[in-house]
Amino acid sequence: MDLDSMNTQGIKRKACNDHPSTSSRSTQTNKRHRTIKSETLETRTAEAAVMDAKTCIAEVLRKLKNVASSKRTDNAFLAYLRENISNAMKSIQKKVLVGVFGRTGAGKSSLINAILGEEDLLPCGTIRACTSVIINVEGNAESKYVAEIESITREEWEEELHSLLEILSDEDEDSDMVEMAKEKIEAVYGEDGFGKSVDYLMCCDEEVSKFLSPVLTTISHATASELSKEIHQYIRSDDTSIRSYWPLVKCVTIKVPNRQDILEHVVLVDLPGTGDCNKSRDEMWKSYLSKCSYVWIVNDIDRAASDKDPWMILNSSIRDLRQGGECRSITFICTKTDSINPQAYMRSPCVRKEVLSGRQSLQDTAEKKKACILHRNEQAKKSVINSFNRQTEIKKYFTAGEDIFQVFTVSSEQFQNEEDPILESSETEIPQLQELLRKLNRDCLKNAHDHYVSGVIGILSLIHGENCGSVKMERDKLDVYSILNAFLTEGCESMSIFLSDVYKDFDKCLSNGAINSETSCVKTAMGQVIAPARKDGRGYHRTLKALCRNEGFFISKNGAVTDLNNTLATVMFEHVDNLFQSIFSVDGSTDKSISRRIDAFSIFPDKEFRNISVPLCLEFLEIEEDILKQQLKSEVLERKKKIYASLTESIKTTMRPCYKQAAAISGTGSMKLIQDALQDHIESTKSSMFCKAKEEMLELFKNLKDAIEEKLRSQLEKSMDQVLLTEKCLPLPDVTEEYNKMRKYYVGHQTAEAPDDAGTPTPHSSNQI
């Protein structure tokens, strides 16, 4: 079908944007336009494809520099090419975060060390281990072990010092909190810090003042043990003979060499299981919840069956992880499987019978211990899976049928034991975790590299197509522009209608939630947070005061989260959660999924449209469209997090004056005064608090709606203008060699060759598409 017949027949788009079911057509289109040859991937890795792409782009940039001249009238087009090249590089920079949760002593550090094949990277087994510092572990392309240490600000430390000294001066304060306050002050200032004022402590030490600067502290060593020794004072406080900076540290990033197979695109985040009343670190802890694509829960195997803490942590965090984040799966890891007493374990006749099943006897001590380990591992897995199946609060945030949960039983010590191991390497299950990370890294790598390679191919197609132009091609560009612009207008209008309908549904759910919240908020807040009947009055007083100091949020020693802002938002969340999950469905499985709708969007009609004289221009535009849609879906995910978090953030803003007032209350009867202050403030602000939260959430959703519509139209218009309308002073650089080199990585259209003046495709190489 040629352009004339298309224009005269007035071809209409099939209803590709009128119903989400058209995503299947879009999926087929995406596969047709961006398919990496499977046979090529078997012989050439994704890294090789990117290396070739980088080589080609470097050569193109050199050639563009040579042709650039102020006398040319197409400098804007050359700038557009350079911008596209720069944007292509950004596609291979994103990393995936694996959040590792677990109480102190659960074996997180030993686990991470074993996975990375390092014995001394993260300190293990300390008695007074600090649990407040977030540690990122990522790969380093260079040969050094590097640590980057980010401190809290001077203002944040001064604010915390006020809280610490207040805790020490309050006779009613809980002993755990008093101990925490003493540890922090002693770690930074030594025993001389006790009894001093905030002003004195802030001015008495130049080293502390220097460390609190916004500049990262960077440490580099040739070995893991050397690095571990030097960073010890920034993450631990077990050695009281030296100064420890961990109370001043917000986050430590450790870069490990020679583990690009696992950590090139993956970051392991060791998240502390307990809080310490530091607002800055708690805010960072919550922000990391929204960034974790995968969650690992680490627990001692002896506690696996009976410990409720991991499920409590998950239940209190699942909204932030899933609805307000991007969590795709949960992995439960039972550690220290080799820590077992065979005689005690087989004391039960039933267990003994199962352990000895199929064996006459187990005389050898090592053999007996191994049999007990493997039996307990199997029982632990069954127990943990059964526990997970009872977690209805967690499971409701995942789509039925999603494979989201798995269990590993590991022994880091046995995996690293090279002299007399009891278990085979595979029986420690560390290799299985390594392979899990390796596969995740490969998938991330391939996805990022595919986007980059496709972007490079698009750029080369555009330049090569312009150089192979013809008189007919220049005439046809205007007609092509007219057709694509019509489809763009139609697609944007359809997208706008879809998003407006979703906005109305969202508004309705939020409005109902705000009304019901106003009715029930005081009772809910009093019963669950402010004055719960199940809590001991004297002990809970400290939690409540710590919560007010931290603007409504507190993590206890065992990891339990108390969040008054989230509690106040609960009813609104309940009204909006199902719709929210549908709107921001990652897999695009629902009719209201924005991701699915973006996939279905296209400015291109059926494939017959390809049989015209500008195939390489169209190839570039199709790749640009696909890249734009991927970028939009990433932006939707990031904006989703802010939209969901806005409810509690808005409520926190409304509650902030009361928190400040309540935190200053002390002395006899202070608990009742704090409770009354909180209750009165909620009662007096409830008529406006939830309406304000609703409006702010809707405003963020409207901003998302406007951004999708604006970017679809403006960026595709810009690409169409540059490719089809902008006058160019030919020739552009000759990229025939680079174009042919990259074509072998890409199965595109049935005809992707530039035509001659007669409209007949002119072959450019032996690599026929």
Q: Which two tokens stand for residue 723?
A: 């490719």
**Angle at which helices 670-720 and 564-583 pack, to 10 degrees?**
30
Sign of the CA dihedral running 569, 574, 575, 577: positive
Comparing C-alpha atoms, which of 604, 602, 599, 610 is closest to residue 769? 610
pLDDT for position 15 = 37
pLDDT for position 237 = 65
Contacts of 19 (CB under 8 A, 6+ apart): none
Whole-angstrom distance, CA of residue 468 vs CA of residue 465: 5
The single-letter code of the amino acid at 235 is: I
pLDDT for position 10 = 39
pLDDT for position 68 = 62
- Low-confidence residues in the chain, pLDDT < 70: 1-46, 68-74, 91-93, 125-132, 170-175, 237-241, 273-277, 360, 401, 469-471, 535-539, 558, 606-612, 730, 746-769
Cβ–Cβ < 8 Å for 227, 140: no
pLDDT for position 13 = 40
pLDDT, one tens digit per residue, over 439-477 is: 999 888 888 888 888 888 888 888 888 887 666 777 888
Cβ–Cβ < 8 Å for 225, 165: no
List C-alpha distances in Å: 664 to 166, 414, 658, 673, 726. Answer: 9, 52, 10, 11, 66
Comparing C-alpha atoms, which of 166, 180, 198 is closest to residue 275? 180
Contacts of 565 (CB under 8 A, 6+ apart): 551, 552, 553, 648, 649, 651, 652, 655
pLDDT for position 555 = 81
Comparing C-alpha atoms, which of 421, 327, 427, 330 is closest to residue 375? 427
pLDDT for position 757 = 39
| Overall size of the chain counted in residues | 769
Phi-psi region of 348 (alpha: psi -120 to 50; beta: other; left: phi over 0): beta
pLDDT, one tens digit per residue, over 232-248 is: 889 876 666 678 899 99
Cβ–Cβ < 8 Å for 474, 726: no
Main-chain dihedrals φ then ψ at residue 100, nearest 5 degrees: -110, 110
